[in-house]
Amino acid sequence: MSTLTQRSNSYQDTPIYPGIPTVIHGNGAVAHVMDHVCGGVIGYPITPSTEISELYEAFRAQGGCNVWGQHPFFFEPEGEHSAQSGALGAALTGGKYISNASSSQGILYGLESHYVTVGKKAAGFVLHVAARSVSRHSLNVMAGHDDVYALLSAGYTTLFASNAQEAADLAAISYRISALSLIPVANTMDGFATSHIQSEVALPEPDLLKHYLGDPSDRIPAPTEAQCLLYGAKGRVWQLNQFIEKYHSQFWPEKLDELRNYITVNAEAIEQDSEGKLVEPTVALLPELLHKKWQRAWLNAYEKNTRQRVPALVDTHNPGLTGGVQNQPDYQAGIVDHRSHFQSDVPHLSSKPCRNTVN
């Protein structure tokens, strides 16, 4: 028997992460994942999803931190529309997994913002839904799928749990899919029938969540060509060449040529040198006044075609325009490109193994 087979059998007999056995309901199972994963939650109570945010806030208020050692935030605005708008804003700043929880009329109230959340490609965002009938001739707070169907046209990737175990597992899967695809995910379950019914569950261990999801502020290779074009870094070699172009008048000509040749010959190694191990041979080729700037430019550059796991699509330190008015041809092209270059990639990204970091 080969070593690989032995290891495989060993893993089958004794799982690395067997789960934390407990008795819990769907809302609690989802909140458990949020406790250890989220960097923040913005939510507004509505039956039967209220308890998801309540349990999360209880954990956070008692000093709970996520698996990356960060103390998350929670904010309750004045309604479900504001909750979704706020969650969208938090997700767009990047570097954190963000969530909201809602149901029924609450989803309809915030539907405008749900469309924008998907359209802006708010990666790392998961909407947890305890599905409930939308009240019509009378109030009804029990399970129904009206709200989920109303949400479908917004464009979420929608996962549906049939029990509390699946609610916990799909919660973790949702954050991963959302981060890789840049398409927000709606993690749904039946209100009361799943959200409030106690059952035996093996909750995912914090270490499993940490390993499976990866730090949202880490960098990963952009998973698709479209993501490379729109969000991928231009690369360390490009940044260094830009530096040389900016300060070329301060170089001795022969040393400038030698530096350019060094970068060209060693481009592949330089691109991956995030620790700056190859900086030293180049320092002697630069004027002394540029040494520190050159080292900073080298160390602060990102490897080509990588992006942050949860990208910062809005940078508060470098503001820009998003969502400008588009007439029919450009708007229609944007809708088609979103479907063909982002939504269509969700199925294979759902099962794609991903390096947790670039290095």
Please give the pLDDT value at position 9: 52
- How many other β-carbons are positioned within 10 Å of the β-carbon of residue 28? 21
**CB neighbourhood size of 324 (10 A):** 6
Q: What is the pTM of this model?
A: 0.92
CA nearest 322: which of 164, 145, 92, 21? Answer: 92
Q: What is the pLDDT of residues 211-235, one digit of tens each?
A: 999 999 999 999 999 999 989 999 9
DSSP count for the chain of H helices, then E strands: 17, 10
Task: Report strand pairing: 20-24 vs 40-42.
Answer: unpaired
Residue 7's pLDDT is 45
pLDDT in tens, 155-165: 999 999 999 99
Given the candidates 3.40.50.10330, 3.55.40.20, 3.40.50.970, 3.40.50.620, the CATH classification of the domain at 16-217 is 3.40.50.970
pLDDT at 272: 95
Tally the C-alpha atoms within 13 A of residue 121's C-alpha that lie toward its C-beta: 25
- What is the pLDDT, as a whole number, of residue 319? 79
Listed as ranges, residues in the chain with pLDDT below 70 are 1-12, 353-359
pLDDT at 352: 73
**Domain ranges for the chain:** 16-217, 236-300
Strand stretches in the chain, DSSP E: 20-24, 40-42, 73-75, 98-102, 125-131, 157-161, 185-190, 199-203, 219-221, 306-308
